[in-house]
Chain A
């Protein structure tokens, strides 16, 4: 059973049109490598804080 059997005909036509437009490139701005760099920086800070605070726990137990 394809999706065309469960949608109203007008919505099916709209779905087809939207799929065509998105496949033809009507998409939001893509991510860049810089976005990943920002995320890695934040993650590195989290890991650093984690290491320091846990080391503190282990050394003082």
Chain B
């Protein structure tokens, strides 16, 4: 049976490039928060908490987690207004700032990094599943990290892929059940840990793998958390285009990703301090006991399945902006290379390096995008010009906003001078200012300065022509 026009339009609203009208918005504040928390509480938040707790005692670990996540999300959350106001995806909205080709390049960078995130979520699910298998006395090969975990990770990837194929309404129904259950288990685990061990034992526990000085540990922990905070940048649009009002978009983004997901990271830090390992699937049974621990492992499985689904949906939606004629199925197929990364634990074990690279890339892009939207576009963009790929006011030069990319490159040079993620080498300023947040501000300042200078030069070149014409 041929698809009706109405069906085709609805498909393109939820799986494609059409801007979402006010009456079609799916998410009020509660649903929006559930989506953000469901997406946010997963492998990345538990792991970042675990790594933080392995280098810092409880108090500074909580400080690094709160600061490192809340401040970056606060800085980029203003972009939620853009996507909610016009009902467009991240990479359509970004055309106003980076240019159409510049936005496509940003999309390609996002799609590559997204494969890493999908892998981390699915592999932690695999790690959780092998612990459950071991707890129930399952076969040894299925409980191993090299065979069992990849098998479960691939199975989870297939299920998440199928859920993403169903679209955002199915995801919302899934999240309404899953997220409150996850939050309840996490809060229960935190209370259990404090009751079981006593507040002072948890508070005074020493980190298992501290740096030479506490300040250096604090700087690194902040940097990992800042990486997670800025990592939400390319995902803001996919969900905010479905927010019922701008308030939901703005507050929901900040509270969901900046504040509430910290509960999971704090749990990760506290248990890492008590048990001596950053790996959540390892500490879950040790810290929570057989009953709570198994509940916790099931929670990890659910949390990572939810997040993998959202990641796959987000990538599919964004790919459709680059290839509007592609079917939804084809767009989702671009996530399949993640399956290769799930075959070994290498990607999963390189999480802090991955976070630091994310911190540089997303802090630099975030600085440019926020500076442009707030100070140059002044919260107003032309929706019509967003959809004119090679025409209109957002064409810039050959489809690229070169000032934006020049600022991103300079931001990158500053970042790597301050901190080298590959070797964990700290530059002279790192322990005082860290790297990601200063990169955000530096990139924003360079971008604004470059734009100011180039526009002044353009005006000066136009003035003699105008005088000759007698304008």
Distance in Å from the Cβ of A44 to the closest Cβ of chain B? 11
- Which secondary structure dominates where chain B touches chain A? helix
- Bound-state Cα–Cα, A43 to B72, Å: 11
- A42 and B9 contacting across the interface, CB-CB below 8 Å: no
Query: What class of interface size applies to chain A in its complex with B?
Result: 35 or more
- A15 and B60 contacting across the interface, CB-CB below 8 Å: no
Give per-residue flags for A27-61: 1 if the beta carbon is below 8 A from chain B beta carbons, else 0: 11111100110110011001101101110111001
- A14 and B9 contacting across the interface, CB-CB below 8 Å: yes
Query: What class of interface size applies to chain B in its complex with A?
Result: 35 or more
- B70 and A31 contacting across the interface, CB-CB below 8 Å: no
- B85 and A28 contacting across the interface, CB-CB below 8 Å: yes
- Bound-state Cα–Cα, A23 to B63, Å: 44
Closest to B74 in A: A43
Distance in Å from the Cβ of B95 to the closest Cβ of chain A? 10
Q: Which residues of A contact B139 (CB under 8 A)?
A: none
Which of the segments B105-113, B249-257, B368-376, B436-444 contacts the partner chain?
B249-257
Q: Which of B8, B21, B56 contacts A18 (CB 8 A)?
A: B21
B387 at the interface (CB under 8 A from A): yes
- B218 and A54 contacting across the interface, CB-CB below 8 Å: yes
B390 at the interface (CB under 8 A from A): yes
- A22 and B247 contacting across the interface, CB-CB below 8 Å: no
Given A38-B251, A43-B74; A49-B66 close (CB under 8 Å): yes
B178 at the interface (CB under 8 A from A): no
- A43 and B246 contacting across the interface, CB-CB below 8 Å: no
Given A2-B389, A28-B244; A18-B215 close (CB under 8 Å): no
- Bound-state Cα–Cα, A52 to B250, Å: 28
- A53 and B59 contacting across the interface, CB-CB below 8 Å: yes
Give per-residue flags for B289-318: 1 if the beta carbon is below 8 A from chain A beta carbons, else 0: 000000000000000000000000000000
Q: Which of B67, B77, B246, B390 contacts A30 (CB 8 A)?
A: B246
Q: Which of A3, A53, A61 contacts B389 (CB 8 A)?
A: A3
- A28 and B22 contacting across the interface, CB-CB below 8 Å: yes
> Which of A2, A27, A28, A49: most chain B CB closer than 10 A?
A28
B456 at the interface (CB under 8 A from A): no
- Bound-state Cα–Cα, A57 to B214, Å: 8
Q: Which of B243, B245, B383, B391 contacts A19 (CB 8 A)?
A: B383
- Bound-state Cα–Cα, A18 to B250, Å: 23
The B1-36 residues at the A interface (CB cut-off 8 A) are: 5, 8-9, 12, 17-19, 21-22, 25
Q: Which residues of A contact B57 (CB under 8 A)?
A: 57
Given A30-B246, A31-B247; A56-B59 close (CB under 8 Å): yes
Q: Which residues of B contact A54 (CB under 8 A)?
A: 60, 63, 218
Q: Which residues of B contact A49 (CB under 8 A)?
A: 62-63, 66
- A18 and B25 contacting across the interface, CB-CB below 8 Å: no
Distance in Å from the Cβ of B79 to the closest Cβ of chain A? 12
- A28 and B81 contacting across the interface, CB-CB below 8 Å: no
- A27 and B390 contacting across the interface, CB-CB below 8 Å: no
Closest to A38 in B: B251
- B18 and A18 contacting across the interface, CB-CB below 8 Å: yes
- Bound-state Cα–Cα, A29 to B243, Å: 10
- A31 and B389 contacting across the interface, CB-CB below 8 Å: no
Closest to A12 in B: B387
- Bound-state Cα–Cα, A38 to B249, Å: 14
Distance in Å from the Cβ of A18 to the closest Cβ of chain B? 5
Beyond A49-B62, A52-B63, A54-B60, 17 additional contacts (C-beta under 8 Å) are A6-B324, A19-B384, A23-B383, A23-B384, A28-B25, A29-B244, A29-B247, A31-B81, A36-B250, A43-B70, A43-B74, A49-B66, A53-B62, A57-B57, A57-B215, A58-B214, A58-B215
Closest A-B pairs by Cβ, 10 of them: A53-B63, A29-B245, A31-B246, A50-B67, A57-B60, A3-B387, A28-B245, A46-B70, A53-B59, A50-B63
